[in-house]
Amino acid sequence: MTQHLFILTGASRGMGLAMAQQLLQPGHTLLCLSRHTHDALVAQAASSDAALVQWSQDLADGTAASARLADWLAAQTADAYASATLINNAGVIPRIGPVRDADAADLAHALRVGLEAPRQLTAAFLHATAHWPAARKVLNISSGLGRRAMASQAAYCAAKAGLDHFTRCLALEEALKPGGAKVCALAPGVIDTDMQVQLRGADAAAFPDRARFVGLKDRGLLTSPEAAAAQVLAWLHRADFGVNPVADVRDAG
């Protein structure tokens, strides 16, 4: 077995798109779940001898997404892959401001995409692949804001903090199972993406930390999506992946 399966959410832009581009290598099968498919990935897959499947999937409906993933995995041959990896990357920042001014639907959407869908997809992935001989990994893309509270960012912070603790619990469960999956919630650093544009463009009166994010950009301290993707994927391939279920790419290793 030389084929390696990667399942990636949020692959249509930013670091997710960069990860998808870097994962399109010979011997790789890449399944992308995003709101929009990406034509450039199709062309790259054809030229790199990689297998690509793209689903236009709204992760706000994690129930439908996880059911679709379960069906797709059930249709795969159990011994077709040397490894199988789920990367829960998708996330959204709702309108930036204090909770007292938040829209209820906006708050719910952030948690559905950032926490509910990753849990449901992880459950579907682990259940469907439980009998596979492949080495299995779950990589949850977290954030420093899951570990550091910030005013006017409660929904995003809560989703990422929940993802961290979910991963801790999951690691304990999988450690009890022979051949259990290795899991990690990894903070990828501060990346120059649309989310950063959103943070810098927020109303300073509603977002006390706005100046901090403006300063990061002005001082050139943001990592490019391509460099961040390379760091995350390098962490994924570390021999000690999962030893620390909650980690940061900037950790010494």
Residues designated catalytic: 156
Contacts of residue 22, Cβ cutoff 8 Å, sequence gap at least 6: 226, 229, 230, 233
**How far is the C-alpha of 140 from the C-alpha of 132, rounded, in Å?**
21
**How far is the C-alpha of 95 from the C-alpha of 109, rounded, in Å?**
11
Nearest to 85 by CA among 125, 34, 119: 125
Show the 3-state SS of the chain: CCCEEEEEECCCCHHHHHHHHHHCCCCEEEEEEECCCCHHHHHHHHHHCCEEEEEECCCCCHHHHHHHHHHHHHCCCCCCCCEEEEEECCCCCCCCCCHHHCCHHHHHHHHHHHHHHHHHHHHHHHHHCCCCCCEEEEEEECCHHHCCCCCCCHHHHHHHHHHHHHHHHHHHHHHCCCCCCEEEEEECCCECCHHHHHHHCCCCCCCCCHHHHHHHHHCCCCECHHHHHHHHHHHHCCCCCCCCCEEECCCCC
